[in-house]
Amino acid sequence: MVHPRPFRFHHMIDLIVRSLPARTLTVTAIAIAISAGITMTGMSMRATGQTLEPFIPPANSLSTGPKPGDASKDDTKPKRDFAEEMRKMVISLSRWAKSQRSDFSIVAMNGLDLTTFIEPGLFVTKSDAKPARNFIRALDGMLVEAPNYGRDGYNKENTDGEVKYDQQYLGRLSNTGMRFFMLDYTDKLENIRNSRARTKALDPLYYAAPPPDMQLAALAKVPATPLNENPFVIDTLHKARNFAMVVDSGPFGNKDAYVDALANTNYDILILDAFDRGTTPLTFDDIRKLRYKKLGTPRLLLAYIDIGTAQTYRYYWRNDWRAGSPSFISGASNNGRWGQENHVYYWDPQWQNIIFGNANSYVAGLMQLGFDGIVLDGINDYRWWIDQ
């Protein structure tokens, strides 16, 4: 779920890509045989995962969920630590994905608050912050929306307080080996230069998304060419020097125009939706075309996926679903691009099994289609639950 306002893929070996059949997949297959149940070739389905240290909550860990027995809370609200449940989901997703492909990248879109066990909204000293180590280790990168421009309106500079709040987290993450993606909503060169100067110490990949508003529905025109454009082979996040993110294909007219526009660029990383207009899946031929920069060398492809809401236009949605049926579907949200979205009990195994953990899951399909990783949106949806 890319909101109108913030708060809100080691390339495949060419021989492997060329061996994939050039067929168009159905919506319910997502190019991954989700509904057909096709077993993923060459990928062990053992959910062994990477070895992470046991999670032990620190002494000052604060629950962001309601406490059982608290008469001041709505009894109909789930009794959960919503922040910790989101951490657990991302950790489990990462462990499973990397048990299938160790080079599959997991990038969080926002979620800075979740990197420490402190109450969201607090300014704390470095000595006071207890890192959420397993959550941090589950991530290969983090994409920060509007670090300096666009949080409160396109081309509008963020307040000093907003900038400093993010910086307190980013400073603590600077030595984790994580790759940072900075996504501002501005098309003014002066703003771009200013934002890059502010975040220089993190050596981030930077992209200034164009208007309209914050829709991520077009390729940037400012600057005219990718920042730090280069001819090199890009097969890891850390080799990349730039990226672009376009997840709304609607303005391009049709899928072929969308794919052609993105393919005809020299960005090292492309972040895109695996479905045109959220409904028509990309094909193996599409991925093969997107795999190479205009100048001919390979790049990385990352798939955008929302793990915090169920979207009525996605392949997994059934006509008889509604709030409360199945039980993990909660209240509706009006932020969907091509249809309604519903908040979900993201800690529910039924929802998680749709997203990852088996050969028919969303993430498994993205792997089979040829993406190099995923960008997880919807992480900040834990805040919606807290506010209910």
Question: What pLDDT, on a 0 to 100 scale, did the predictor assign at position 4?
Answer: 39
Mind listing the pLDDT tens digit for each residue in 262-271? 999 999 999 9
Mind listing the pLDDT tens digit for each residue in 104-123? 999 999 999 999 997 665 55
Segment 347-376 shows an average pLDDT of: 98
Cα–Cα distance for residue pair 202/182, rounded to 1 Å: 10
Instruction: Say whether pLDDT at 2 is over 60.
Output: no
Question: What pLDDT, on a 0 to 100 scale, did the predictor assign at position 126?
Answer: 53
Cα–Cα distance for residue pair 207/205, rounded to 1 Å: 7
Question: What pLDDT, on a 0 to 100 scale, did the predictor assign at position 7?
Answer: 35
* Neighbour count for residue 382 (Cβ, 10 Å): 27
Question: What pLDDT, on a 0 to 100 scale, did the predictor assign at position 345?
Answer: 97
Mind listing the pLDDT tens digit for each residue in 13-45? 343 333 444 333 333 345 443 333 333 333 333
Instruction: Say whether pLDDT at 216 is over 50.
Output: yes
| 275-276 and 269-272 beta bridge pairing | unpaired
Mind listing the pLDDT tens digit for each residue in 258-298? 999 999 999 999 999 999 999 999 999 999 999 999 999 99
Higher pLDDT, 9 or 88: 88
Cα dist from 3 to 9, 27, 247, 377, 382, whole Å:
22, 24, 11, 10, 15
pLDDT category, 388, cuts 50, 70, 90? confident
Instruction: Say whether pLDDT at 94 is over 90.
Output: yes
Q: What is the DSSP letter of 228?
A: T
pTM: 0.82
Ramachandran angles phi, psi of 342, nearest 5°: -125, 130
| Element holding 256 (H helix, E strand) | helix 255-263
| 341-344 and 309-311 beta bridge pairing | antiparallel
Q: How far apart are the first and last CA of the chain?
A: 19
Question: What pLDDT, on a 0 to 100 scale, did the predictor assign at position 32?
Answer: 42
From 163-167, 193-197, 211-215, 380-384, the region with the lowest mean pLDDT: 211-215
* Helix spans in 50-203 (H): 82-100, 133-137, 160-173, 189-198
**Mean pLDDT taken over the chain:** 83
Segment 232-238 shows an average pLDDT of: 98
Instruction: Say whether pLDDT at 179 is over 80.
Output: yes
Mind listing the pLDDT tens digit for each residue in 303-315? 999 999 999 999 9
Nearest to 287 by CA among 181, 370, 176: 370
